[in-house]
Structures are given as structure tokens and as C-alpha cells.
Structure 1
């Protein structure tokens, strides 16, 4: 099924999940910050993060899974790489949902039942997905300029502050910080039309 591929070692994946029904995942700045703290607790043990964008009712991440050799020494590895990554992803989403439900006095599921994951298998696809993820707030009309959206990795990748993002890899991929910024500000309409999630 499209969007439900298995995680494999040393591979890039576009990961997407959505709130159930018409729910929002994030109601305040603190919600966004808390989610990122939980992300930093679970995901770096199984993948490096290329970029991300948190939207009010859905999330996008582009990750590169760990090497197979590293997985062998992971304390939770039981012989199935896909299950290892899914377990950490599930731990992240469940931990956030539990805290969110407690804070807002709600019950039941917060996330849809499955996390979509699309394997990136070409250089052009990788470049487009990075741009697509950062353009998501523009696409959904939350802002007219991606630089104004706080909860994406766009600005962090240009910053010099400490980060868990694979900053050097991304900037090098685009040929430099200037080229990275220029790519994001050119052909926006065309690139957004090409992608639908």
C-alpha cells in the first residue's frame, strides 16, 4: 500500500501523520515545543533528521535511518529493523498523545492509526521533499512566507545554534546556505502543485 513501506537501514523516508477527525495536534506554542522535546528523546536513536514541519493538525519529517551495523547494538533491537524504527515512532506519538490528553482533559486517540512513510529513492525526489516539507505552511495558507513559520526546520538549518538536525548534510546537498535559501524561494507554486499528501 502506498505510504506504508517498511523502514530499511541507511535510507531516506518522508514520514507523515495526522490528527484524528477535525482535531488539532497543537493548540499552543508549548505543545509544539513539547512535541519536539519528545521527538529528541526517541527518534535520534534510530534516525537522523533532515528536516521537519509541524502543522496544527499534521506533521512531516524527513529522516535518514541508521546504519544496519548500528541497529545491531541498539538496546531495543530484536532482529527486525522496521519494528525497531516503528517502535520508537510509536513511543513518540503515544507519549505526546498521553500528555496532550492529560493537559486538555480529553480521551481517546489523537493520531490516525497509521503513520505514512514514503521511501526517497532519487536525488531529485529528496530535494523536492525537503522543499515541500518547508513549504507546507504556505501550501495550507497559514503563512505567505515559509520563513515566518516557527515550527519547521527551515530557519534552524540556516542557523548556527546547536541542533539535532543533519544541518551540514542538508546545506552541502544544496551547495551552500545561499543556494539552499534560493531554492526555497524559487518556483514555489510549481513545486507545490506537484505534491499532494
Structure 2
């Protein structure tokens, strides 16, 4: 089960949230685009984003929270959760208005796990980028356009992702691609 440990500054987390019930978070292309716009607005100021994957009923993020002066160590979790709450609420309110729906869109808790070592970081990266294949949305990882994987394959194209920090673990783009196309055991990952 995913730990609900407190968020801390200057720490890396894998983060997951699921739709409330059997609805969809993303019904059409504009939903994905708006979600990323809100991610830029609310989360980029507080975190460096390494990877993401948006699926019709859930999303995954791999990020490192920035360090902020003037925020007490005991207040870090509350400070960061407030920003995440604002982010998800802004998306849910716009979504509810667009589709004339009411009620919570996301499950109450943001599931999260602190990434404490390189091995876990690499497995989470692989898991997030392969999520559309694992859930049967596509047959090949590069067929899903709502993840950060394609951005990594196009390093000359500008991106808000912190790709260089992740790419230091790979000798080349081919090594990165081959790693993502390999079979990895997610033995200690439990997102769902």
C-alpha cells in the first residue's frame, strides 16, 4: 500500500491520484491540455517535474519538491499539500463546469511515496512511462501521447521537465529507450 507520509522540501516523490468512482478525469484532448496547464501553474513553482503520465482515470507524477526559505520544517507538508489541493481543485472545478457535473472528481487522498534511492527512482520512471501499455491503452510505449516519455525522445524540443537530471542515469538516448522497452519487475511498487 502507498504510504501517506508527509511531503518534505527537497525530496523526490512518486505521486498518484485516481478518479472518484468509475468516471474519467480526461474525456477529451482539451482535458489533458488543461491539466498540464494547471500543473504548470500550481506545481512547477514548487517542484521540478521528472516524469508524468495521464490516463483516462488516473495520473502519475515523479517530482522533486523545491526548498523554500521561511517555511518552518513542521509546516512543509501543509504548505505543499495546499498547493496540490489548489491544483486538483482548479482542474476539478473547470471539469465539473464543462461537463455540468457535481461532486468530487478525485479520490480524497493523494497517494505518494518518497523516493529514497536510485534503483527505486529508475523503476518508478519505467513504471510511469509504461503505464499506458500496462493498462492496455496502447501496445507500444511511444504510442501514448499523454506522458513525458515522448519529451525525452525529443531533447532538442523545449520542455518544462527536468530531463537532464534523469538523463544522467543513461549513457545515451538509445540506452534510455532500451531501458523503457525492457521488462522490469515492479516488485516493490504498489500504486493502485
- TM above 0.5, one fold? yes
Question: Contact 1:19–1:58 (CA<8 Å) still a contact in 2?
Answer: yes
1:179 aligns with 2:175: yes
1:54 aligns with 2:46: no
1:191 aligns with 2:191: no
Shift of 1:174: 2.0
Stretches of structure 2 lacking an aligned partner (at least 5 in a row): none
Q: Structure 1, residues 79-99: CA drift from partner, whole Å, max 9, x if none? A: 611112111111110000000
SS at match of 2:160: coil
Aligned residues: 189
User: 1:122 and 1:36 mapped to 2: Cα distance?
Assistant: 27
Question: Contact 1:19–1:110 (CA<8 Å) still a contact in 2?
Answer: yes
Structure with the largest fraction of helix = 1
SS at match of 2:85: helix
User: 1:60 and 1:3 mapped to 2: Cα distance?
Assistant: 15
SS at match of 2:146: coil
Q: TM-score, normalised by structure 2?
A: 0.93
Stretches of structure 1 lacking an aligned partner (at least 5 in a row): none
CA spacing shift, 1:113–1:124, aligned 2, 3 Å: same
Q: Structure 1, residues 96-149: CA drift from partner, whole Å, max 9, x if none? A: 000000000000100000000100111100000000000000110000101000
SS at match of 2:17: strand
Question: Contact 2:2–2:190 (CA<8 Å) still a contact in 1?
Answer: no
